[in-house]
Amino acid sequence: KAGVTQTPRYLIKTRGQQVTLSCSPISGHRSVSWYQQTPGQGLQFLFEYFSETQRNKGNFPGRFSGRQFSNSRSEMNVSTLELGDSALYLCASSPMGGSGETQYFGPGTRLLVL
Amino acid sequence: AQSVTQLDSQVPVFEEAPVELRCNYSSSVSVYLFWYVQYPNQGLQLLLKYLSGSTLVKGINGFEAEFNKSQTSFHLRKPSVHISDTAEYFCAVSGQGAQKLVFGQGTRLTINP
């Protein structure tokens, strides 16, 4: 099976712009979670989607949003970018999103905000 | 709410030496525990996880971890490391009933020849 894929892998934006990141989960997986990784804050949970519905949300401002499509692919959007949004954004998928299920991570999208 | 503390930010060891990466967690509810590894410029890969049952969990690449409920710890061990084990290691917890992972700050393992 192909793993989790994320596009693009690298992205450079300027402050105030918006960005959309894409994630394709492992075939058959219906749960997609997003995490932000920064040197200062480490790995932080953004949100989780299952069957096109957001089930859980982390402690991030409303500028961070996401959605999931009927084929389980997911996108996350960050509006009005700030310098502090520079990070590695990781997507993870699992079959049903149950607690204790292994989450399979993609390689990430590295976003640099100038 | 859960939290995870990885007691060492960096651990240097010599090749073929044993290693222990320490992880302590805090939670008011029962948790599931995970160790993930991140190689440079890659995503995270699961090494092992504890859900229930035997407190000694064996994972991939010769790693194992022991769940200690009284000490709220989940330390990762390997009896003999290899250069290829150079990576960052993350301990994580999730509460039962939630998919969300709470990660520690990571431990950078450096293997010296």
Q: What is the pLDDT of residues A67-100, one digit of tens each?
A: 999 999 999 999 999 999 999 999 999 998 888 8
d(CA B40, CA B14) in angstroms, rounded, equals 20
* d(C-alpha A6, C-alpha B93), whole Å: 24
Using an 8 Å CB-CB cutoff, list chain B residues near A40.
Answer: none
In the numeric block, which tokens belong to residue B67?
Answer: 């769940």
Element (H, E) at A40: none
A54 shares contact with chain B (CB less than 8 Å): no
Q: What is the model's pLDDT at position B97?
A: 74
Nearest chain B residue to A31, by CA: B99
Of A56, A107, A108, the CB nearest to B100: A56
Determine, for residues A102 and B46 on separate chains, whether the beta-carbon distance falls below 8 Å: yes
**pLDDT at position B1:** 81
> Which pLDDT score is estimated for B2?
87
Q: Hey, are the CB atoms on A45 and B96 less than 8 Å from each other?
A: no
Looking at the complex, does the CB of residue B106 fall below 8 Å from at least one CB of chain A?
yes
- Give the per-residue pLDDT at B79: 97
